Amino acid sequence: DAEITQSPRHKITETGRQVTLACHQTWNHNNMFWYRQDLGHGLRLIHYSYGVQDTNKGEVSDGYSVSRSNTEDLPLTLESAASSQTSVYFCASSEGTGDTGELFFGEGSRLTVL
Amino acid sequence: GQNIDQPTEMTATEGAIVQINCTYQTSGFNGLFWYQQHAGEAPTFLSYNVLDGLEEKGRFSSFLSRSKGYSYLLLKELQMKDSASYLCAVLDSNYQLIWGAGTKLIIKP
């Protein structure tokens, strides 16, 4: 069965360190997204991609970067982790044009920055 | 600015019916989604409305009124497994999803 997987599922790091969260999907979807979810807030879009070599900034992109070198993967990098980036991160993918399709989410990565 | 409003928390009884409301103010409208999210898990798709009216899917139904900027999710014959957060999201004129903070639904026996 097709799926979308994230790793690591849990990570604790220190302020200032670089962190990369992996996202891999086997749906063959063109569209991939990274969100963060914090208590009291809706899902907030960090970065997204509509295809290989395409990346775009979302609502809360400062301090984050992504790259899309193939269809399956969209890794999220925190260049210098800050305590404000402690959150649960969800990767998602969809088919169709832009955001019009149903989103399939990974299980989430819980990041704690000390 | 763009805004999605949903109640923070609701409580209902097993076997009953509950309606979760969502009101939105967005720059344009290209559809409204409902997702279910159990604690500690990923959101999963429930429904998509782009035209006014009621869409029924088993025990769950979703209603949309574009003129009122309003939607609701209706859950019938509530089961304990329906305890979860329900997320409303609107696709705006730029085809970007705007998410509400979610409604935590607690089901009591």
Q: Does the beta carbon of A88 lie under 8 angstroms from any beta carbon of chain B?
A: no
CA A93 from chain centre, in angstroms, equals 10
Q: B40: which chain A residues are within 8 Å (Cβ-Cβ)?
A: 108
Q: What separation in angstroms does the CA of A67 have from each of A26, A47, A56, A71, A96?
A: 17, 10, 10, 11, 20
Token representation of residue A51: 């295809």
| Mean pLDDT value across residues A82-111 | 89
Q: Is the pLDDT at A98 greater than 80, yes or no?
A: no
Residue with tokens 């305590």: A83
pLDDT tens digits, one per residue of B52-101: 999 999 999 999 999 999 999 999 999 999 999 999 999 988 888 899 99
CB contact under 8 A, A99 and B97: yes
CA A42 from chain centre, in angstroms, equals 15
Query: For chain A, where are the alpha helices, taking DSSP H only?
Result: none
Q: Is the pLDDT at A91 greater than 80, yes or no?
A: yes
CB contact under 8 A, A108 and B31: no
pLDDT tens digits, one per residue of B19-59: 999 999 999 999 999 999 999 999 999 999 999 999 999 99
Task: Please name which of A65, A86, A62 lies closest in space to residue A20, comparing C-alpha atoms.
Answer: A65
Q: Looking at CA atoms only, how far is residue B104 from chain A in angstroms?
A: 11
| Burial class of residue A45, CB neighbours in 10 A (0-12, 13-18, 19+) | buried
Alpha carbons A91 and A78: distance in angstroms, whole number: 15
Interface of B with A (CB under 8 A): 4, 30-31, 33, 35, 40-45, 48, 87, 89, 91, 95-102
pLDDT tens digits, one per residue of A73-85: 999 999 999 999 9
pLDDT tens digits, one per residue of A12-27: 999 999 999 999 999 9
